[in-house]
Structure 1
């Protein structure tokens, strides 16, 4: 089954709130080799004006992943995980993610472009904090291979 073109414009339900933990930020920072003190030391982050450690920019993928799981689980999507390659990623921040944030993501399928028998699916995950304020928009482009 090819990717369903009717996905364009579909907004999925907001994810359950995700509480950003200090140790999760530290673990993620170590994994991506982000060694700046603001990612590990609360005092260093506070000296920069933050309430706690600051997540590296790509940490938004943790929340975006929950939104992408909704898309992949949609029975009418026509997307089979074994045929998906994560082709592109972008982030547009209003402010950094900080330990203690409670974040919710909501995915919208922004576009689908067909290339041969393959499809490029562009998805925007709007990530907001507990007050509903925008934190980051994470945009992914998924390359979905054809059945052949």
Structure 2
């Protein structure tokens, strides 16, 4: 297996705060065809009780990506980007992400399963707001191909 098994239970440093911008939410909504007015219209979001536009559920991937970059850049990871496929994604929300949120994410590697010369790496990014309140846990599985024989 090319992936370092010692990554399991490794916790990475929190990311720098990510300020969720209204235009970023709107752009993301357009990109994923999220057409509900709450994603683009502040008045529609406010009518639902939110301070600003609400990000589509998969927007958490934007913040989680910052943590996955840490994992891939880890010198002893054994993860080679060219042999990596994002195989699975799940989210567990406490509340929606809203424009104006300042989010920080902390990644932990929760599992590695070997297969042949490759591995499946499972990680969880705990994403919190400026008050350190949980917003979402983003779970990813990366499929890492092994070196050619």
Name the TM-score, length of structure 1 as normaliser.
0.99
| 1:117 Cα deviation after fit | 1.6
Write out per-residue CA displacement over residues 23-80 of structure 1, whole angstroms, 9 at most, x where no aligned residue. 0000000000001000000000000000000000000001000000000000000000
Aligned to 2:69: 69
1:99 is paired with a residue of what secondary structure? coil
| 1:115 Cα deviation after fit | 1.3
| Runs of at least 4 residues off by over 6 Å | none
Q: Note if 1:117 corresponds to 2:117.
A: yes
Q: RMSD of aligned C-alpha atoms?
A: 0.7
Q: Note if 1:147 corresponds to 2:147.
A: yes
Aligned length in residues: 148
Aligned to 1:10: 10
Q: Note if 1:95 corresponds to 2:114.
A: no
Name the TM-score, length of structure 2 as normaliser.
0.98
Unaligned 5+ runs, structure 1: none
- Structure 1 CA distance for aligned equivalents of residues 16 and 89 of structure 2: 22
Unaligned 5+ runs, structure 2: none
Q: Note if 1:82 corresponds to 2:82.
A: yes
